C-alpha cells in the first residue's frame, strides 16, 4: 500500500503528464531501445515509428497518476494490458528494465522538477503497478499452460491452408507443427504471431483475431494486407504474411489471449457490429453461436468500402438464409453497378444504426464492436444516443491507434 505522501506526489504529476507525457514516453522508448536493443524484438516497431505506442503509454501513465488513490478504476485497461503482455511473452524480469528507464526518463525530461522525492514516489508507484501486472500475468500463463493442448511462449504452427477472402484479406489455417492439440479459446480472442522482418533485422510480433469458432484441430487468422497510405508506410508483417507465407510454411504463434470475447454468462440477444477487417472476431462469435445451435436472436451488421473488400460474404449470407434467428445488415460506402441489394449489400453508405434501429435494437442485447477507431467512436455514440447502456457495449480496437500491422 502506498503512503498518502507518495500518492499525493504522484497524483500531482498527472496534469504535467497529460501535457508532456508523449515527450516523456518518446524519450523513454528511445532510451530503452538504445540500452536494451533486445527488446526491439518484443515491441511493434510500426507503432513506434507512427507514434501510436508513445501516445498510448503516455495516456496510461497519466491515467495511473490521476487514479493512484484507487487503481481499481483502471481495471478494464489493466486487463487488456495483461492479456497483451502474455501474448507477447512479457515476463517478470522485463519489469525492472522498464522501471529503470522510466525513472531515468522522468529525471532527464522533467529536469529540476524531478526531485529525489518525486522520483522515489514514482519508483514506489511503478513497483505497485508492476506487482499487480506480474501477479495477473502469472495467472494467465498458468491457465494457458494448463489447458489441454495449451502452451506458453512461442510454438511453431504450420500453414495447412491459405484462402483469399477479399482483395485485401486472406485467411491462414494453422496447425501445430508438433502434431499436438489446439487449445480451446473464447470466440473473439486473438493470437500473437511473429515473423522475421529483414528490413528491420528483427523478429516482429503482431496480434490477429481468431476468425473461426473454437473446437477445431487448427486455428484460423484472417489478415488484412496493410497498404501504404499518405501518412503511413505499408504494414511489414501483414505484407510478409500475404506475400511470403505459403502452405507448408511455419509461423511462431503464442497462446490465445484477449478480454474481448462473447460473454459466457449471458443468454441475451447478440448484435455483432464490425467495420472492415473488424469482422474477424465477429465471424468467430457467429460461427460459435451457429455451431452450438444457439437460439437467441443474432444480428450481424457490417460495413466496408465496396464489393472488392467484402470478406466472407457468401458465408454470412448462407448462415442468414438457413437460420431464422440470424439477420444481417451490410453497408457499402461505394455501390457498384453490378452489386445486388440483398446479395452483396443491404444499405448504401456508412453503417447507420439509427436507420436500422428496428432491426438491431433488442431489449438487454449485448453489442460487440470491432473496427477502425473512427468506426468505433461513431457506433458507440450511436448506441448511446439510442439508449443502449454502456455495460451492454463490448468493444475491441486494433493496435495502439491504427498503425499498420
Length of the chain: 405
Q: Can you tell me the distance from the alpha carbon of 336 to that of 84, in angstroms, rounded to the nearest whole number?
A: 40
Residue whose entry in the numeric block shows the C-alpha cell 511493434: 44
Nearest C-alpha neighbor of 128 from the set 65, 84, 172, 220: 65
CA-based max dimension of the chain: 69
Q: Would you state the cell numbers that stand for residue 65, as one nine-digit string? A: 497518476
Beta strands in 138-249 (DSSP E): 155-164, 169-176, 190-197, 202-209, 219-224
Q: At what angle do helices 4-12 and 14-35 cross, to 10 degrees?
A: 90
- Cα angle for residues 269, 190, 165 (degrees, 5° grid): 85
Give the 3-state secondary structure of residue 335.
coil
**Residue 334: active-site member:** no
Q: Would you state the cell numbers that stand for residue 130, as one nine-digit string? A: 508492476
**Residue 137: active-site member:** yes
Residue whose entry in the numeric block shows the C-alpha cell 452483396: 344
Chain-centre distance for alpha carbon 12? 31
Give the 3-state secondary structure of residue 213.
coil
User: Which residue in 29, 52, 126, 137 is the catalytic one?
Assistant: 137
| 194 close to 206: Cβ distance less than 8 angstroms | yes
User: Which residue in 95, 126, 141, 190 is the catalytic one?
Assistant: 95
Half-sphere exposure of 320 (CA within 13 A, CB side): 18
Q: Can you tell me the distance from the alpha carbon of 250 to that of 241, in angstroms, rounded to the nearest whole number?
A: 11
2-to-8, 202, 296 alpha-carbon distances in Å: 10, 39, 47
* Residues annotated catalytic, as ranges: 95, 137
Amino acid at each position: 500500500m502506498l503512503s498518502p505522501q507518495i500518492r499525493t506526489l504522484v497524483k500531482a504529476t498527472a496534469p504535467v503528464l497529460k501535457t508532456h507525457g508523449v515527450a516523456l514516453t518518446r524519450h523513454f522508448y528511445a532510451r530503452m531501445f538504445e540500452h536494451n536493443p533486445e527488446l526491439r524484438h518484443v515491441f511493434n516497431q510500426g507503432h513506434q515509428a507512427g507514434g501510436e505506442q508513445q501516445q498510448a503509454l503516455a495516456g496510461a501513465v497519466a491515467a495511473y497518476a490521476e487514479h493512484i488513490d484507487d487503481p481499481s478504476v483502471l481495471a478494464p485497461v489493466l486487463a487488456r494490458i495483461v492479456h497483451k503482455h502474455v501474448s507477447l511473452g512479457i515476463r517478470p524480469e522485463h519489469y525492472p528494465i522498464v522501471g529503470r528507464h522510466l525513472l531515468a526518463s522522468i529525471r532527464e525530461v522533467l529536469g529540476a522538477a524531478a526531485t529525489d522525492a518525486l522520483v522515489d514516489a514514482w519508483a514506489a508507484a511503478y513497483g505497485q503497478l508492476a506487482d499487480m501486472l506480474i501477479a495477473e500475468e502469472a495467472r494467465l500463463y498458468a491457465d494457458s499452460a494448463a489447458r489441454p493442448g495449451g502452451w506458453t511462449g512461442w510454438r511453431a504452427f504450420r500453414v495447412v491452408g491459405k484462402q483469399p477472402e477479399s482483395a485485401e484479406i486472406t485467411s491462414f489455417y494453422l496447425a501445430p507443427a508438433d502434431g499436438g492439440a489446439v487449445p480451446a479459446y473464447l470466440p473473439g480472442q486473438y493470437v500473437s504471431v511473429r515473423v522475421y522482418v529483414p528490413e528491420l533485422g528483427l523478429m516482429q510480433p503482431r496480434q490477429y483475431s481468431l476468425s473461426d469458432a473454437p473446437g477445431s484441430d487448427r486455428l484460423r487468422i484472417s489478415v488484412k494486407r496493410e497498404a501504404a497510405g499518405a501518412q503511413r508506410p505499408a504494414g511489414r508483417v501483414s505484407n510478409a504474411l500475404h506475400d511470403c507465407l505459403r502452405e507448408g510454411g511455419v509461423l511462431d504463434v503464442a497462446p490465445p489471449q484477449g478480454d474481448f470475447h462473447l460473454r459466457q454468462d449471458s443468454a441475451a440477444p447478440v448484435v455483432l457490429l464490425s467495420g472492415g477487417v473488424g469482422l474477424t472476431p465477429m465471424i468467430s462469435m457467429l460461427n460459435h453461436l451457429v455451431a452450438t445451435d444457439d437460439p437467441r436472436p443474432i444480428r450481424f451488421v457490417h460495413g466496408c468500402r465496396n464489393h472488392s473488400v467484402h470478406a466472407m460474404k457468401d458465408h454470412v449470407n448462407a448462415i442468414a438464409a438457413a437460420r431464422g434467428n440470424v439477420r444481417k445488415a451490410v453497408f457499402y460506402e461505394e455501390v457498384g453497378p453490378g452489386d445486388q441489394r440483398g446479395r452483396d449489400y443491404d444499405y448504401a453508405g456508412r453503417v447507420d444504426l439509427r436507420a436500422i434501429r428496428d432491426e438491431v435494437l433488442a431489449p438487454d442485447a449485448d453489442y460487440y464492436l470491432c473496427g477502425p477507431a473512427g468506426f468505433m467512436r461513431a457506433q458507440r455514440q450511436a448506441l448511446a444516443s439510442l439508449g443502449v447502456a454502456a455495460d451492454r457495449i463490448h468493444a475491441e480496437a486494433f493496435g495502439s491507434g491504427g498503425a499498420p500491422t
